[in-house]
Structure 1
């Protein structure tokens, strides 16, 4: 039986790299030690090989070595005519001396939109630019000329690592206590909030401003890449031209560090139909910080009371997502 939840990744054929990518998953086995890559079965295609739409076994790697697993996986896929399309095979990914909780290699994404974003590339934000070798590819993915090896990894500041892993992000719920429900607790939170608004938050480093808002436990949404839990880092509520409530939020996986943008529209206040529409988009770390900076400049950004005043921020978000393919799209009736 698998040791962990299946890891999902993207593949493309070497012979036709511009064809649509295919999803695959990696299953880890304990007896005998091995991992198996299964290719998704397309509807109406490969029916004999994959009855009832079950995944197609693609390859097996016996005794996988996690220290060089990226190279093992790329070589095994190349032998079957496929190419890995994840962060680990991208020219913008640089390996680090760090591992995910699964034991997979972690690197940092160095993609930047412009030279002005070089501030995000400093060593002090490595924790925020970290991406697992199997994090999902994005629109900026480009094949690396040579496989990245751990031996080329730069050293990190001691405070960035905890036992060879990326330090977990601070969680908002863990910083609160039962006192928040008392009148004294509410007064202290109000005073603290007033002080923070006067402190020019843009002058503080991102490590201090970034806090998970999903609570003490795991987030409520599964990661598209590793099936771990993703946590909310910030949200902005605006109003659509039809008058519906629309929320843009940034999410980050606690296991593989993949970033996502969520676009959620709630129509029940206008139509009384309990209809919601939701889309997910893949973000690079630099893009996630760019969106969080927009959110950070709006007072009470998530509160819907003043959403009709945020048309400029909504227009910016709409223009941003227009350049990104949709990762997931769902329309739900009811809650």
Structure 2
């Protein structure tokens, strides 16, 4: 168990976190970045990224995140693979505890913990999670080669997942609660041209069916028409849930001002939170755009505001009472 003290501590290893680290390192602030459970989170679940500047050809999501990490380290960022489990913003320096047992102290803090996959909330979904139910087509799609699979969702995440699986599975059925996709036009057109892809509009999934003998696995889903309430069974070997993401901010409840949906509140054209010296960037503050490029841009803003904060005397005293909020981000 060790103690680490950084002028700028960044939690979250996605585009916002790594770009914040790059800018902080170039300002000679010697940033320390704690990656969390899954560095890169959403980008690491994408087979290809086609709209990130600087790449003439589509780049694999995991490779893009690896290049960001290497760039951050090359300019002087120290990267730690740990999970922050508690924070205390009521003292200076800020105090954070890692799952490893290590303690982290920070003169300025940048929160870039990203977003986590949303679930359907069905007990049967939870029961078969990891046994035919998955939130990542990139990591688990290979197990469904030449099988029939179902994807639920209608945004970019769902359409990208369906495109990836269409190259592996014998049949891909997309279940969407609306009558049109919300994904980008180029992705929609590409998916709808796939001969082994079927879309079932205006339906939701009510139940995940499966067997426990001889082994636990999904065998189908029950879907319901949102207009007529009619239900029917749909056989499948796997269900991929791709219905969006929620900000990974549970760790900071009670210590930062937040919107009802869990997004951290920041100032206009700023990454400043309700606590001086604590900045936030990326999907934790963005309910609108939620793109890698906008997250990276906010990361650079946070680093510049951290640099400015550290250069000025602290004028707002911080109460020194003990508050510990427990949570996990990744």
Higher relative contact order, chain-length normalized (CA < 8 Å, sep 6+):
2
Is TM (by shorter chain) over 0.5? no
Structure number with the higher helix fraction is: 1
TM-score (norm 1): 0.23
TM-score (norm 2): 0.23
